[in-house]
Amino acid sequence: MSDWKEYRLGDIANVKGGKRLPKGNNLTTKANKHPYIRVRDLGTKKILELDSSYEYVDDETQKKIAKYIVNEGDIIISIVGTIGLVAIIGYSLDNANLTENCVKLINIKEIDREYLYYYLVSDRGKNEIEKGIVGAVQAKLPIKNIQSIKIKAPDINNQKRIASILSTIDSKIECNRRINVNLEQQAQALFKSWFVDFEPFKDQPFVESELGMIPHGWKVQEAQEVFDINIGKTPPRKESEWFSESNEDNVWVSIADMGSCGTFISDSSEYLTDEAVNRFNIQMVEKDSILLSFKLTVGRVAIADTRLTTNEAIARFILPEKSYREFLYLYLKQYKYGNLGSTSSIATAVNSKTIKGMKLLIPNSEVIEEFSMNTKPLFEKIRTVQQESRRLAELRDTLLPKLMSGEINVNEVKL
């Protein structure tokens, strides 16, 4: 790395803060031209694009905070809450509003934009970010400390080569994500056809129910009458020995893990020790169980792709038969959780009793079996594509620190 240079972030880019909503102004879920980017909208994606999870400000609020927008290509960093999340603004968020809990990097010079992104998400970049965090009660990353972050880089041509290698992998991962979105949309369309519009059953007799007219022989039942539903548990956080950096036998899933996993989940950012599982009577659930978040972020759904456990914000549905897997996953994905009501004045939440008492339309077993036969190939393809993306992510994460440290010569990498 003798030919690499060290830069100060404030010397190669302008660091600008976002803006808090004016007092009395609130976000709305009704889509308009003014999306508002919050920390929760950042995650593992390199390019940040608009999707259905975003909220918006109205025209009058927009006028008050119009100076605090981002443009396509800006790099943003979260500075309060979950600190150090990094993303590049995509075309669909050009002119979006930015929360005060993030900053944007603009007018970047001497450093390739994508190289800078990858440096900031590398171990070296994360260490630099952590050095600048202050505050005992509420941690934050001040702008002056962001400006002092040190960036090491080779010449611009090698920066571009490094970024190109990593971008090639990320592009394939993004392509796989779009493939899986399309596959799941096909499955959702089939679910709607069968269980909302009842298209294959229109020639059969229908009867009245709590959920309206349904095919004769089908039932409306509480979720707990069909599925064994239990809730996860978190060992005391003050006892660090209950958590492990790696333990494939005790995967411990959080809502954040569900948000980044896709349809199937088999890994986690944290694991439990064997002692924690035994001491606190942690109940593991088997592969193909369906997971549903019901606190803070309500309505995330995933399929366990291995034996695992979860925290207390996640309900685990144990299937009476494997054929229920696709049906229940798709049902919970489209369920209207707002109708359940909130049991918390602090944050969106419903309690476990409410989840267990959800009224579900349950067809007869022959229909469930046939639906599974029609949708299982789509889900197996989703799983295969998702597994490929995990392998690609592991390759990227292995190459990233070695490329950023100069341990691997960029000219020796072939993909």
Question: Which of 379, 339, 352, 250 is closest to 294 using CA atoms?
Answer: 352
Q: Which amino acid is at 215?
A: P
Question: Which of 93, 89, 33 is closest to 59 using CA atoms?
Answer: 33
- Is the domain of 351 the same as that of 253? yes
Final residue of a domain: which of 346, 362, 378? 362
Q: Percent of the chain beyond pLDDT 70?
A: 96
Stretch 276-288: mean pLDDT, rounded?
Answer: 89
The pLDDT of residue 96 is 95
- Is the domain of 124 the same as that of 16? yes
Total structural domains within the chain: 2
Is 93 a member of any domain? yes
Please indicate whether residue 34 or residue 82 has the higher confidence score (pLDDT): 34
Stretch 190-208: mean pLDDT, rounded?
Answer: 96
Is 380 a member of any domain? no
The pLDDT of residue 345 is 38
Final residue of a domain: which of 362, 386, 401? 362
Which residues are CB-neighbours of 41 under 8 A, at least 6 positions away? 48, 53, 54
Task: Supply the CATH number for residue 105's domain.
Answer: 3.90.220.20
The pLDDT tens digits for 116-163 are: 999 999 989 999 999 999 987 788 999 999 999 999 999 999 999 999
Given a contact cutoff of 8 angstroms between Cβ atoms, the answer to whether 300 and 348 are in contact is no
Mean pLDDT of the chain: 90
pLDDT band at 91 (very low <50, low <70, confident <90, very high): very high
Is 17 a member of any domain? yes
Final residue of a domain: which of 136, 153, 170? 153
Residue 2 pLDDT > 80: no
- Is the domain of 105 the same as that of 233? no
Stretch 298-307: mean pLDDT, rounded?
Answer: 93
Is 202 a member of any domain? no
- Is the domain of 33 the same as that of 145? yes
- Is the domain of 269 the same as that of 147? no
Token pair 């390739």 is found at: 112
The pLDDT of residue 349 is 62
Question: Which of 268, 262, 253 is closest to 379 using CA atoms?
Answer: 262
Is 160 a member of any domain? no
- Quick one: 354 exposed, middle or buried, by C-beta within 10 A (0-12, 13-18, 19+)? middle
pLDDT band at 348 (very low <50, low <70, confident <90, very high): low
Residue 296 pLDDT > 90: no
Residue 35 pLDDT > 60: yes
Q: For residue 256, give both structure tokens.
A: 């954040």
Residue 246 pLDDT > 80: no
Question: Which structural domain range is residue 225 located in?
Answer: 219-362
Is 296 a member of any domain? yes
- Is the domain of 224 the same as that of 149? no
- Is the domain of 341 the same as that of 251? yes
Is 189 a member of any domain? no
The pLDDT tens digits for 353-402 are: 999 999 999 999 999 999 999 999 999 999 999 999 999 999 999 999 89
DSSP letter at 386 equals H
Stretch 277-293: mean pLDDT, rounded?
Answer: 92
Give the burial string for 47-85 (b: 16+ CB within 10 Å, else e). bbebeeebbbbeeebbeebeebbbeebbbbbbbebebbb
pLDDT band at 1 (very low <50, low <70, confident <90, very high): low
pTM: 0.83
Is 165 a member of any domain? no
